[in-house]
Structure 1
Amino acid sequence: MSKVFFVTGAGRGLGADIARHALQAGHRVVATGRRPGRVVEALGGEQDNLLVTALDITDPATARAAVEAAVERFGRIDVLVNNAANFYAGYFEELSEDQMRAQIETNLFGPMNVTRAVLPVMREQRSGHVITISSLAGQVGGEFTAAYATSKFGVEGFMESLRHEVEPFGIRTTIVEPGFFRTELLVDASTTYAELSVEDYAERTAATKKAWESMNGQQAGDPAKLADALLEVAALDEPPLRFIAGDDCLAAVEAKAKELLAQVEASRELGSGLAHADAA
């Protein structure tokens, strides 16, 4: 059945793949980006089932305008794909306060802005599916990713909580946790490195930055295959709360789950029996 997809960050990378594959599958697509011309170029020009419109996810006004344009053109929005994101890489002490705030503004408040604009449409329909692209970094924190992981952990909490609020209206939510895919996240337009320098980190910063740069274009995951998998998730009557994508991410999340269970057991003796006597 044809659906209306609303995709952010559709000018390149995974967003372009999702929009392109949705069009090929016969869906109608609202493809958004800060530079609409780049979106048109990425998707092969204007098409009857395609609406390209400007959207800066950090600007709530443009989110509302894009949603209004989508409803005017197609009458509804069935699937929101919160895809647009960027990456501030570096050790926490070398990331400036402004960089940390900018990371969260884009990767957390950005999806919130777009979701807030779309939800009234879905509530009126009493149906819809909000898919938000998180990351392996939304489950497992790591060296050099303090800013990015903070934003993605936030996205996971937002979506997991939103699920309970919107399910009564027939709206489903899915958090997508990809591992390392060749999505252009590591290109210069998407990655910003720490602007401060702390001598204690200097040697590790140089080596780690070089490793991240060398990884660009060499990631194992195929974003075209991920786009197809996401279309299958969007077609499910009961989509999962989380979709873990990529062999590397499946293994890492499984290990994290085991680690959490081990920490529960390690905490049981000291962590239990802490209630007030009248609450026991």
Structure 2
Amino acid sequence: MSIPKIWLITGASSGFGRAIAQDAIDAGDIVIAVARRTAALDELVAAHPDQLEAIALDVTDTARIDEVVADVVARHGRIDVLVNNAGRTQVGAVEETTEAELRGLFDLHLFGPAALTRAVLPHMRAQRGGAIVQMSSVGGQLSFAGFSAYSATKFALEGLSEALAEEVAPFGIKVLIVEPGAFRTGLFGPGAAAFSPESDVYADTAGATRRMVEAGDGTQPGDPAKAAAAIRAALSAEKPPLRLPLGADSVDAVLDHLDAIREDVLAWEKISRATTFDED
């Protein structure tokens, strides 16, 4: 029999985090489920007491992260998969978004995952293997009105992760950047999405995004359970991808965005290339 993997999953109480946890449990693995409020995990812990442990941690409390990771490794011997999943939606035009909102989102989507990644890497390097799953978004590849702050944090996470993948490949460590589109995770649910104070001047741009988020809960086409299965398949592949768009909407948006970038680059290629010093 294969040795069960040890998963450390943040934001595990709902949405993608819970679906990934359930998928890992179904595969016979052991899950350390991290959440700010662990009560939402009580039923799952009771159903799988030998495979699931809940730990209370706010990932923005980076001072506690080394302690938590060290404790998990001390008790379980290793961490095979880290899933940086904790997150939330933030909607607002650039002018509407406050500095506190922007900094808070970076703490959650970038500095927390970076701290967790730094904490697990020495252990993964020592065991010559492991995987780090960074839950980004289609908004980590492209952005639009109203999602400036959200996409800024996901762009940053993807930039960090792309470099990370090259750095840790010699140690047998995989990095997977997941880019979901619209999935039925509760991210748009009441009290889940954060909205900056609204200005009438952006009613037709960022305002349209507000209305979409406000009305979108429960109508998203993506199935989190199928997303979890796709993540497992990618991690198990002989040649795992660096980026994994999930959902037809994400795939279409990313491909269209890449086409638009290519079109712009080619249209301005002559001028772009002509910016070097003239040779004597």
**TM-score band, normalised by shorter chain:** over 0.9
Partner of 2:222: 221
Structure 1 residue 39 displacement after superposition: 2.5
Structure 1 residue 258 displacement after superposition: 1.0
Structure 1 window deviating more from structure 2 (269-278 vs 164-173): it is 269-278
Of 146, 149, 152 in structure 2, the residue corresponding to residue 150 of structure 1 is: 152
SS at match of 1:161: helix
Structure 1 residue 277 displacement after superposition: 4.3
Q: State the alpha-carbon separation in 2 of the partners of residues 91 and 4 from structure 1.
A: 40
CA contact (8 A) 1:175 1:241 kept: yes
Of 112, 115, 140 in structure 2, the residue corresponding to residue 113 of structure 1 is: 115
CA contact (8 A) 1:9 1:84 kept: yes
Structure 1 residue 43 displacement after superposition: 4.8
Q: State the alpha-carbon separation in 2 of the partners of residues 184 and 8 from structure 1.
A: 16
- In structure 2, the CA distance between the partners of 1:249 and 1:44, relative to structure 1 (3 Å rule), is farther
Structure 2 residues without counterparts, runs of 5 or longer: none
Partner of 2:95: 93
TM-score after normalising by structure 2 = 0.93
Q: Does 1:124 align with 2:132?
A: no
Partner of 2:267: 266
CA contact (8 A) 2:7 2:32 kept: yes
TM-score after normalising by structure 1 = 0.93
Q: CA RMSD of the aligned region, Å?
A: 1.9
Deviating runs (4+, > 6 A) in structure 1? none
State the number of aligned residues.
278
Give a deviation string over 1:13-54, Cα, whole Å, max 9, x none. 110111011001101111111112223335545511222212
Structure 1 residues without counterparts, runs of 5 or longer: none
Residue pairs, 1:1-280, within 5 angstroms:
1=2, 2-45=4-47, 47-195=49-197, 197-202=198-203, 208-277=209-278
Q: State the alpha-carbon separation in 2 of the partners of residues 17 and 43 from structure 1.
A: 14
SS at match of 1:239: coil
CA contact (8 A) 2:146 2:205 kept: no
Structure 1 residue 145 displacement after superposition: 0.4
Percent identical: 39
Give a deviation string over 1:194-214, Cα, whole Å, max 9, x none. 03x434225666554232111
Q: State the alpha-carbon separation in 2 of the partners of residues 70 and 275 from structure 1.
A: 53
Structure 1 residue 237 displacement after superposition: 3.9
